[in-house]
Structures are given as structure tokens and as C-alpha cells.
Amino acid sequence: MAGIAVFGKLQARGRAAGLLVCGLIALAGCQGAPEAVPEAAAEPLPEARYEITLRPELGEDGEVEAIAVTSRLYGGLKDGETRLKLSAPVVYVNVMGVADRILDLRVTDEAGLVEFTLEQDDPVPGGFPYFRHWTATRDVDLPLDISYRALVQPEGGPPGPAFGIRPSAGGVSGAGAGYMIVPVNSESNLSYLDWDLAEFGPGAVGVTTFGEGRVAVNGPPAALMQGWLMAGPAGQYPPAEEDTHFRAYWLGEFPFDVPAEMAYAKDLYDFFGEFFAYLDPAPDYRVFLRQLDTEPYGGATALANSFMQSRGPASPEEMGGQSPRSTLAHEMIHMWVGGLSGEHALTNWFSEGLTTYYEYTVPFRAGHVSLEDYISGLNSLSDRYYSNPARALSAVEIGRVGFNDGRVRHAPYQR
């Protein structure tokens, strides 16, 4: 299943602040996407910054049960603000109960413990995001410390993109939006994300969309929500010591040769860079793959400079086959297609429709798809379109369905 990329400014309903978090409006390659920046060791740290460390915690069964988060906010609040405000999703693209799984929240400054009042957005139909908001009951002084534990997403629940943090193969993966609570009114425009991997064995990795290990990320703290993460005994392509602009990480067993398929994906990504040309050179890119034993399995979804392919156990007929190469192409092409401003439901005819067009035509043009397979793919696409019960629905009507029906949601991909 081809997924959507999500980041930008939340188009929220109800009690919505102008919160810089993800909204379903823009696709990879857009201006303003969160960006990893190189750290210069000799330069002093900026006064206004957000530092965060992630420590996956293992349960008695050896699987990750939570991510413990410790963070410190430096600098000050935005002009005119004296009360710290935090936000976390209640529902995030069909991932239910994110804020409810945030435990042991503790915020302290020089004066001691900070207490909060709570407000919550009105629920949004269709599985679209809405948020819970914490407002400090007193003025605060920075720096201040924020710590909490975020439980992994439990099995079950509705299908949807792989934003929830899920355990698999001794590690954990998901997206920042699936577990984070973040300051939303600080003046910080640069974050530093680091890992504590002490509970894993030797060779464990901690990696996000923004890079491996400690990374600096442009944007407010909420920009961290717009990155995939993976931690634990993950496989890697190419080997860690190889310097490359394209990397893949995976947790679990797959029915295909992962390094070989990621070599194919890298060749395809390089061709896309030459074909579309206007991102020159093509940015660093990361692919995340995870195999889950329990539903919801996820699917494929792109964020800036990266995508996650999340799937369930392999069926016998899949063994020894190829990866979902068309999906690989689709998600990487989002990097160049971008999207239109406005509500996702009213604009994804462009972002998903054009990406689907290139998904079929560019790999064929690159010589990676035979004429027979190209024709078969187009026929399959046509069949899905003409048999789709949402074929005659307007964009607004499709948007009302949201993530509750996958066939309806994918009609704009096929038009």
C-alpha cells in the first residue's frame, strides 16, 4: 500500500493552536521539511535549543515495551509567552491513544515541579489527527527538564500508516508522531536527538530519518515528530563502514533478499535523481523496513528523505520473491513530486496521482521493468480504478471517509 507523507502545519479542528506539527498536506521534497544539519564540534551550542535522548526499554520477554524520553529545553518561550505549552496526538492517522500511552510525565525548572491544565481538540472523523494540550499553571524559567515514558502501540486497532511505535525482532520502530509530547511555544529552532541503547546488546543501532546516532535537526521541537525511527539489532545496507547517500535498515525476517532488493532500490533512487534533476545532488535517503507479527501491520508511508515499509508475516507463496518494487518506487518518488498546499483530501489527486503515474512510467523508462510487466501493471491499475466503489466520489466525499476504508482512500491514487 502506497502511503502518504505527512508534515507541515496542522490543519486542526476544534481547539487548535497554530501548532507546527504534521498535517496531511504536503509530501516529501516540500520546502520547510525537517532537516538534519551537521554539527560543528568546535562551535558553541545555540542558547535556544531542545535536547532529547531516547532510551528503549525491554520487557521480561526481551521485546521493547516503551521508550523512555529525557529532554531539556533551553533559551526562552516565544515573545509574550510565559506559560509552557506541550502537545501530543490523541489520534494520529488511525494510530489511536498516543497521548494516553504517555506515562510518568514530569516537568521541572529551577523552582521545582511544573503542573499543567489539560485541553483537548474536538475529535476529527476518519482517523485524522487531533491533539491533547498541556498548559503550565505558572510561569516557568528555562532551562527546564521534560521526561516521560511512551508505551509501544498495542496490537490490534484499525489499519493505517506505520506511525505507531511497535516492537519487532528485539527492536522498536515507528515515527515521532506515534509517541512524542513536545513543547510548542518555545523559541528553539534547533533540536539535538541522541540515543541510550544500553538495554540492547553490542551492535545495536539508533537511527531516525535525520541520521544515525546523535543528530541535529532544524526546526521547532515538533519537527522531530516528522521522522521515522528504528532502534535495536537492525540489519543495514550497505555495511555501516561504507560512506553512501542511501541507507536501509530493517527489523525482522522478510521473504526476499533484503540487501539485494535495497541495492535495487538504491539504483532506482539514483536514476530518479538523474531523471527529475532539480534536486542536484539527490538528498541523503533512508529506507526503514519492519516485519510485525500482529496487526495492524502498517503499509508504506513516506516522510521527508525517507519512508517506512511495514508488513506482517510472509505467506508461503511469497518466499524467495522480490520486494514490493512498485511500492519502493512510489514512496521514493514522493521526494520529487511534492504536493499542493491545502487540505490533504482536496490536493492528493496531485501528490498521489502524479506519484502513481511516475511509479509506473519511470522504472520502465530506466529499464528496471520489462514491457510485459509494465503493461501488466497498467492493466492492474486500471482494474483497481474501474472496480473502485469510490470512483465517482468527489474529493470531499473521499476525505470524509478518511482512513476508515482503504479502497476509498486510494481512489485519488488511481484517477
What is the model's pLDDT at position 44?
83
**pLDDT for res 39:** 60
3-class SS shares of the chain: helix, strand, coil, % to 5: 25, 30, 45
**C-beta of residue 362 within 8 angstroms of C-beta of residue 275:** yes
Tell me, yes or no, whether 113 lies in a domain: yes
C-alpha cell at 74: 533551553
Q: Identify the CATH number of the domain in which residue 331 sits.
A: 2.60.40.3650
For residue 21, tell me if it sits in a domain: no
Residue 88: what are its φ and ψ, rounded to 5°?
-150, 150
Answer yes or no: is 23 within a domain.
no
Confidence (pLDDT) at 23: 36
Burial class of residue 112, CB neighbours in 10 A (0-12, 13-18, 19+): exposed
Q: Mean pLDDT for each 10-residue chunk of the chain (415 residues)? A: 33 33 34 58 83 98 98 97 97 98 99 98 94 98 98 96 98 99 98 98 97 98 98 97 96 96 97 95 97 96 97 90 93 95 89 96 97 96 95 90 89 92
Grid cell digits, residue 260 = 539485494
pTM: 0.90
What residue numbers bound the domain in which 280 lies?
Answer: 35-414
Q: Which residues, 6 or more positions from 168, have their beta carbon under 8 angstroms from its beta carbon?
A: 251, 252, 290, 291, 292, 293
* Cα–Cα distance, 300 to 2 (Å, whole number): 5
Q: How far is CA 414 from the centre of its chain?
A: 24
Strand partners, 216: 37, 192
Cell numbers that stand for 21 in this block = 506539527
Specify the DSSP element, H or E, that contains 349. helix 344-365
- Residue 183, domain member (yes or no): yes
Instruction: State the cell numbers at 18.
Output: 497554530
The residues near 385 (Cβ < 8 Å, ≥ 6 apart) are 391, 411, 414, 415
Residue for cell digits 528496471? Answer: 368
Give residue 3's pLDDT.
35
Task: Please give the pLDDT value at position 30.
Answer: 37
Provide the percentage of residues in the chain whose pLDDT is more than 90.
Answer: 81
What phi and psi values does residue 145 have, to the nearest 5 degrees? -110, 140
| Phi, psi torsion values for 69, nearest 5 degrees | -120, 125
Kindly state whether residue 19 falls inside one of the protein's structural domains: no
Evaluate whether 115 touches 203 at the Cβ level (below 8 Å). no
Q: What's the total number of domains in the chain?
A: 1
Domain contains 91: yes
Q: Which of 364, 353, 350 is nearest to 268 (CA)?
A: 364
Residue 340 burial by Cβ neighbours in a 10 Å radius (0-12, 13-18, 19+):
middle
Separation between Cα atoms, residue 5 and residue 59, nearest integer Å: 32
Q: What is the 3-state secondary structure (H, E, C) of 132-160?
A: EEEEECCCCCCCEEEEEEEECCCCCCCCC
Q: Is the residue at 24 inside a domain?
A: no
Answer whether residue 225 is part of any domain: yes
Dihedral (CA of 213, 214, 216, 219) sign: positive
